[in-house]
């Protein structure tokens, strides 16, 4: 079984964000919008919007190390498959708010599940107001 997790340090224009998460591949998944050259901005926002922003790379690394050590002290599952990883090169503008799923969102709801008819992205309850 794969844990598929890591502690990620995201470097954007405004600083560094640190998060332990799984399935980070989602942030590279299908950049639907023309303004998403490096990351899927919507996924990036969903993953990292609640993180503290560090201006100093060293501080961000210390935070990543702190999270790493905390998980490795866990008796139940001390696993971090990818260790501490860096994302981005500081050129990406972190979105101010949740970006739309694509340039022309067309939402349809089937059996209570809302999905964009145009790009296929599923909508979850917290962003149904788009």
Residue 82, both tokens:
């990818």
Nearest to 93 by CA among 4, 23, 15, 1: 15
| Residues 82 to 101 in contact with Zn ion, rule: CB under 5 A | 101
Question: By C-beta, is 84 or 100 nearer to Zn ion?
Answer: 100
By the rule CB under 5 A, 105 interacts with Zn ion: yes
Please say whether the beta carbons of 4 and 36 come within 8 A.
no
Question: By C-beta, is 41 or 60 nearer to Zn ion?
Answer: 41
Angle at 123 between CA 80 and CA 128, to 5 degrees: 125
Question: By C-beta, is 98 or 105 nearer to Zn ion?
Answer: 105
By the rule CB under 5 A, 102 interacts with Zn ion: yes
As a whole number of angstroms, the distance between CA 123 and CA 130 comes to 9
Element holding 54 (H helix, E strand): strand 53-54
By the rule CB under 5 A, 116 interacts with Zn ion: yes
Minimal distance in Å, beta carbon 75 to Zn ion? 43
By the rule CB under 5 A, 119 interacts with Zn ion: yes
Stretches 1-9, 47-55, 64-72, 110-118: which one binds Zn ion (CB under 5 A)?
A: 110-118
Minimal distance in Å, beta carbon 74 to Zn ion? 38
As a whole number of angstroms, the distance between CA 48 and CA 95 comes to 10
Positions in the binding site for Zn ion (CB under 5 A):
101-102, 105, 116, 118-119, 121
């Amino acid at each position: 079984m794969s844990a598929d997790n890591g502690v990620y340090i995201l470097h954007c224009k405004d600083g560094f964000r640190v998060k332990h998460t799984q399935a980070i591949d989602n942030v590279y998944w299908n950049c639907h919008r023309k303004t998403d050259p490096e990351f899927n901005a919507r996924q990036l926002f969903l993953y990292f919007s609640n993180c503290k922003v560090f201006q100093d790379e060293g501080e961000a690394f210390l935070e990543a190390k702190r999270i790493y050590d905390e998980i490795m002290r866990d008796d139940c599952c001390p696993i971090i498959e990818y260790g501490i990883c860096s994302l981005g090169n500081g050129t990406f503008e972190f979105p101010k708010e949740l970006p739309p799923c694509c340039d022309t969102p067309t939402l349809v709801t089937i059996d209570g599940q809302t999905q964009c008819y145009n790009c296929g992205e599923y909508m979850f309850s917290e962003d149904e107001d788009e």
